[in-house]
Amino acid sequence: MRVVVAPDKFRGTVTAAQAAGSLAAGLRAAGHDVVEVPMADGGEGTLDALGGPNRTTVVSGPLGDPVEAEWRLAGRRAVIEMARASGLELVGGADGNDPVAASTHGTGELVAAALELRADDIVVCVGGSATTDGGLGALRALYPVHRLRGVRLTVACDVRIGFVEAAERFAPQKGATPAQVELLRRRLERLQQVYLDEYGVDVAGLEGAGAAGGLAGGLACVGAELVEGVELVAERLGLEEAIESADAVLTGEGHLDAESFDGKVVGGVVDLAAHLGVPAAAVVGATDPGVAGPLPVVALADRFGDEVARTATERCLTEVASDALAAALAAGPAQPRS
Q: How many domains does the chain have?
A: 2
CA distances from 77 to 38, 185, 283 (A): 20, 34, 33
Whether pTM > 0.75 for this model: the answer is: yes
Residues 118 and 256 occupy one common structural domain: no
Residue 336 falls inside a structural domain: no
Residue 106 falls inside a structural domain: yes
Residue 175 falls inside a structural domain: yes
Q: What totals of helices (H) and strands (E) does the chain contain, helices first?
A: 14, 11
Asked if 98 and 127 count as a contact pair (C-beta separation under 8 A), the reply is no
Q: How confident is the model at residue 326 (pLDDT cuts 50, 70, 90)?
A: very high
- How many residues in total does the chain contain? 338
- 3-state class of 73 per DSSP? strand
Residues 114 and 213 occupy one common structural domain: yes
| pLDDT of res. 338 | 67
Burial classification of residue 66, based on how many CB atoms lie within 10 Å of its CB (0-12 exposed, 13-18 middle, 19 or more buried): exposed
- Percentage of the chain lying above the pLDDT 90 cut: 93
CA distances from 157 to 60, 78, 279, 336 (A): 22, 16, 27, 20
Given 230, 259, 294, the domain boundary residue is 230
Please tell me what DSSP assigns to residue 42: S
- 3-state class of 32 per DSSP? coil
Query: Could you tell me the CATH number of the domain that includes residue 259?
Result: 3.40.50.10350
Residue 274 falls inside a structural domain: yes
**Distance, CA of 123 to CA of 72 (rounded, Å):** 10
**Distance, CA of 20 to CA of 41 (rounded, Å):** 15
Average pLDDT of span 188-192: 98
Q: What is the pLDDT of residues 275-310, one digit of tens each?
A: 999 999 999 999 999 898 999 999 999 999 999 999
Q: What is the pLDDT of residues 201-255, one digit of tens each?
A: 999 989 999 999 999 999 999 999 999 999 999 999 999 999 999 999 999 999 9
**Distance, CA of 36 to CA of 6 (rounded, Å):** 6
**Contacts of 300 by beta carbon, 8 Å cutoff, 6+ apart:** 283, 284, 285, 286, 308, 309, 313, 316, 317, 320
**Enclosing domain of residue 318:** 2-37+238-331
